[in-house]
Structure 1
Amino acid sequence: MRKVLTVCLGNYCRSPFAALVLAHRGAAELEVRSAGLIGKWEGEPANESMIVAARRLGLDLTAHRARQLTLEMLDWADSVLAMDASVLDVLRQIADDDVQPKLTLYLGDSDVPDPMGKDQDAFNACAVLIEAGTALHIR
């Protein structure tokens, strides 16, 4: 079973939903976790607008609780999927040589836009984009 870690800034919107949808779609082949670079929302549920966006796609994000990234999480993962280039840059700065080859963008060559501070439509669009991106990670 492949171990996948999704990472965004706060583990509050994008990476929790990415982990949820990857786990849902690739349950037989993936073990998925998520984390954020900062601990601002540590222990908190996902953003309510992302919970609503997930529900619209038939997924339940209410059990999520935010976690801050640790070096142990990076070591655990076979693949570390950053939600955007700025997150990937930070991961490249903190990761050791063994972890570097595991690091990539979730969408391969483009960012998943951060919907924070935007309206529900932005969260819905973000969720649809993340769901479509699962095809890149499930064999």
Structure 2
Amino acid sequence: MRNLLTVCLGNHCRSPFAEIALTRRGGTTVAVRSAGLIGKWQDQPANPSMINAARRLGFDLTPHRGQQITLDMLHWADDVLAMDASVLEALQAICGEGNAHKLGLYLRDRDVPDPMGQGDDAFNNCATLIESGTALHTGSRRP
């Protein structure tokens, strides 16, 4: 089993949805957690627009409660999947060289755009993009 940690800015939209999408796609081959760089939404539900976008794709995001990233989470993870380059850069500063080999972008070569402050279409597109990216992390091990 591989331990995957998805990380975005606030653990309010992108990383919570990635957590449930990867969990469904990976089944018993992965354990998935999510976290945010900031604690603004600590213990809060996911963004209502992301909950709706998830529901449209057949996922229930209502149980989610936000978490801020901890060093224990970073040590637990085999792979730490940043939703965008700015999150990846912050993680590199937090992790240090010992965990740097675990870090990468969720979509490997591009960002998952942050839908915060945008309309439902942005959340729907974000959720669809995240779901399509699950195949990158639930099959064979990353090179």
Alignment TM class, shorter chain as reference = over 0.9
Please show how residues 113-132 of structure 1 align to structure 2 within 5 Å: 113-132=113-132
SS in 1 for 2:107: coil
Report the Cα offset of residue 94 of structure 1: 0.9
For 2:65 and 2:57, locate their aligned partners in 1 and report how far apart those are by CA, in whole Å: 20
Residue 5 of structure 1 deviates from its aligned partner by: 0.1
Q: Map of 1:81-100 to 2, 5 A cutoff?
A: 81-100=81-100
Q: Could you state the TM-score of these two structures normalised by the residue count of structure 1?
A: 0.99
Unaligned runs of 5+ in 2: none
- Match of 1:28, SS? helix
Aligned-pair distance for 1:100? 0.3
Equivalent positions of 1:6-45 (< 5 A) are 6-45=6-45
Match of 2:57 in 1: 57
- Once the two structures are superposed, residues 44-78 of structure 1 have per-residue CA deviations (whole angstroms, 9 ceiling, x without a partner) of 00000000000000000000000000011000000
- Structure 1 gaps of 5+ residues are none
Identity between Structure 1 and Structure 2 (%)? 65
Distance (Å, rounded) in 2 between the aligned partners of 1:62 and 1:27? 20
Other structure's SS at 2:49 match: helix
**Per-residue deviation at 1:138?**
1.0
Number of equivalenced pairs: 139
What CA RMSD, in Å, does the superposition of the two structures yield over aligned residues?
A: 0.5
Secondary structure of the 1:19 match is: helix
The ranges of structure 1 where at least 4 consecutive aligned residues each deviate by more than 6 angstroms after the TM superposition are none
1:127 and 1:120 map into 2 onto residues whose CA distance is: 11
TM-score w.r.t. length of structure 2? 0.96
